[in-house]
A and B are shown apart, each in its own frame.
Chain A
Amino acid sequence: MKAKTVDRIMTGVIVGVAVLIIAVLAGLLGYLLVRGLRHISLDFLLSPPQTIKAGGGIGPQLFNSLFLLVLTMIITIPLGLGAGIYMSEYAKPNRLTAFIRLIVEVLSSFPSIVVGLFGLLVIVNMFGLGFSLFSGALALTVFNLPLMVRITEQSLRSVPREQKEAGLALGLSRWRTITSVLLPVAIPSIVTGTILAAGRVFGEAAALLFTAGMSSPRLDFSDWNPLHHTSPLNPFRPAETLAVHIWKINSEGLAPDAAQIAAGASAVLVITVLIFNLGARWLGRVLYRKLTASK
């Protein structure tokens, strides 16, 4: 065969694979949205679910998902930034560092159901935190943290060495160089990476089944004292998230419109994750322009 023919065939194959992947994605997304969008209304988004009657909503679950995400991020962002800065700027290249890096990799590829069971044994039972948002946030931290560390480390490493030397040569201390030279350049990609990681946290179900629990107490949305039992802001109450709700309603839902609710909830979940993704790109671009004066 002539080289040109081979080239043509291979181009065709590669384009075909790409089209196939896009078709699968678009089909999946379209199916979820077509089935689900019909059931989404303001009432659906805000009202509590019904056990046996039709017409339940997903209000508390949506709130729980968002609140859990915030809690998880409050724990992971400082830890992840700290560890990432250490790995990229302070850790000497030796066996210990390589070992830490290996552990981080392994941790991030843990199956989430294993993390959930670990959470049940250690966080819920051993530490006695019970089924609670806090337990859920800790479990999510287990596989979100490695991601945060890696995002931070890689973002800092991708800042050109010349930039760092310029800072040091001006007489800035190492810490000052990190905070005022490296971080401003790295922050856009750290933020983008963080939001993408947040999307994963938002859609997680398996790790939460046994940590945040599968039920939600009656929430009083007029009580914002985080210490009260029925307050939505209480981090030590059990909380069913949107993803867990979809799983539960599909497997043991008793309401006559369970299928529709699951479809609607799935669509809400997908749309939220999509918004995260698009928002991440947008925010990354805006920050980059802001922080680097490159208009």
Chain B
Amino acid sequence: MIIEIERLQLYYSAFHALKNVNLSIPENRVTAFIGPSGCGKSTLLRTLNRMNDTIPGVRIEGEVTIQGRNIYGSETEVEFLRKRVGMVFQQPNPFPKSIYDNVAYGPRLHGVTKKAELDGIVERSLRSASLWQEVKDVLKKSAWSLSGGQQQRLCIARALAVEPEILLMDESTSALDPISTTKIEELTRELREKYTIVMVTHNMHQAARISDRTVFFLNGEVVEASDTEALFRSPVDQRTEDYISGRFG
């Protein structure tokens, strides 16, 4: 288990957004968080790289340990944590720079200066994000000239370039067309060989298609967490069954 979450409580000012969450996330697997809007799945995802720190009024109790280290402990450096736990967002958000510079961005700011080394990182990352074939001749072009799906894969490449161990994907296909979505789904399957992937999706079918484990959230609580096949075939909790059979949400 690469991530262990214990007795996690999260409040947005007075609102109790996550209620006593206990969860283990296995290494080199795709774990999907599903549940209706506002159930806390994105909030939990954003506690894993402490992106919630930027929101005023957030209070967190409990423990989140990644590889045995409490990431909310006083000795944890947020920058180092976020380097190890990469994130891809809902909207593709490449920087307004060239394709090359987008991928080289993180490594550069973390101290890689040699051109040859950067070239290597950029090619490797773009290959991992299955974008290299499409952009290898236009690396100097603006990232904003790419299509939405390409931009999202560029964002994945950008996240991979700083060599994280865990990749968080926050509804990363919800703004994309079906073909681009399929590409990213295939990519996600490939990436789990080397990375641990935690994804939030509002699309149950997507979770069923590509995840190894599925966690169902409702009103800030984990209702059920198990292997994807088991969860969809024979859910233990009545609420899970109601949700996956489309009775609400």
- Chain A residues proximal to chain B, CB less than 8 Å: 92-93, 160, 162-163, 165-166, 168-173, 176, 180-181, 184-185, 291-295
Contacts and interface: CB of A to CB of B under 8 A. Distances in A.
B61 to A, nearest CB: 22
Interface of B: 49, 51, 54, 56, 79-83, 86-87, 89, 91, 93-98, 101, 105-106, 109-110, 140-145, 155, 158-159, 162
B153 to A, nearest CB: 15
Contact of B56 (A93, A160, A180): A93
A266 B145 CA distance: 47
A172 B86 contact: no
B93 A172 contact: no
B166 to A, nearest CB: 12
A172 B79 contact: yes
A168 B96 contact: no
A163 B79 contact: no
9 contacts: A162-B93, A168-B54, A169-B49, A171-B106, A171-B162, A176-B109, A180-B109, A292-B142, A292-B144
A158 B217 CA distance: 34
Contacts, number: 74
The binding surface of chain A is classed by DSSP as helix
Contacts of A160: 93
Contact of B51 (A93, A165, A181, A185): A165
Contacts of A169: 49, 51, 82, 86-87, 89, 159
Interface centre among A92, A163, A172, A176 (most CB of B within 10 A): A172
A170 B159 CA distance: 7
Interface centre among A163, A185, A291, A292 (most CB of B within 10 A): A292
B91 A162 contact: yes
A176 B105 CA distance: 12
Given A171-B106, A181-B95, A293-B143, 9 more contacts: A160-B93, A162-B89, A163-B93, A166-B94, A166-B95, A170-B82, A170-B162, A171-B162, A292-B142
